[in-house]
Structure 1
């Protein structure tokens, strides 16, 4: 029976997470769902993000997924807890939904010597305070400073992430973040689009700062989760198959996906 691992994002960014998961766990089957028709999620209300995310999770369940990863910081911040606590016990008590915030906050303090970390994210993720709350649970002595970067996702999705035009917006937000605390020595890219800006970020960040992307962290966490939950692992099919779904244009998705996933894909349109 085909029971893939579902990976959900509001658009393309989650492909940077999927890329690292596949690199770490290539034997599993995966279904990626990008809700491109309704992106961006970062500017939407909590209720809207919750409803959209739940709808997509339900679809992945209908496709046989026993485990779904919300490879989207906004969905993890605004929808994950409700889905885990309110919906799963009623609609799918034997299935699991994981996010990207908890795995990151469980390790971020290990990278900082100064005890000052910076979070670069969408406005929705920053406003949710999810990182501040979760980091405090794991590293209560850590000082956390956030900066919303509303122009970064449009830059990436319009293919401008490597252009000179991106310099202004990357430098602007890094400067603002470091003004909040010059002692910041660890900077988390808390949006799955931001790894495409990594070269620009390194250019304008302090030379000795650690820049963290989430893909490898989430992949390691998922591998550990499957070891700790063999009853879930046994249900996941392992034929190395990949399916890509988008709620918008497949041509646009396939063209953009190459930048995020690192190889060409052929997607299927999904009408929700």
Structure 2
């Protein structure tokens, strides 16, 4: 009887979480999907007239995300490999893990102020895409480092021993055996990080700014780079455009659809790769 009761409670907790998520998503999509159109997604934004779009902000969101991942993924994978394969248990390892966990607990608005002081003011890049990307890298690193380390540690030791027994070096073993088997977990970490970065506002307000370039798309990393999330905050906080509620609803729906598509784009190949590797083990 206790077993059945505990099972029912677990199912109830899971269904409650799914219900809350479904209500939230359906409400946002119900309010925002009617606003979405080709002109809204690709058009220029307007500060005072009705009918503006979010084309530049949509492009900047992905541009800043890609740049931040390009900066953070090599560092995170290198740190994860070092912690899992080379470091062992030492004082230096403890300091690195403590630093990573401390960085993960820093509020994003504090990271934004740090990025504004270092990149915008001291280095003189101004409110720019490159400044926002470098600061967003600090948000991505803790999650990517820990996910990479844990994914590498889940690879069985027998794989390493078999590779070394065949005459491979330690680096060849890591590159050709360990990392491919840890790749599904690393992809999951990248997906979670990307979804969080797409919705980030506090960091980018202080580093990338609240304005956009005249042309769409603009690949100049020194130009200001307002994103979708920042534009939503801007139109609701200080915007004068009459249809700001419709713009905010449309941005909310567009962000949710984009993040869901982004997750599926990474999750499905990761699951297929994991199944392929699992089949290869047998």
Whether the TM-score (by the shorter chain) exceeds 0.5 is no
Q: How does the TM-score come out when normalised to structure 1?
A: 0.24
Higher strand share: 1
Between Structure 1 and Structure 2, the one with more helix by share is 2
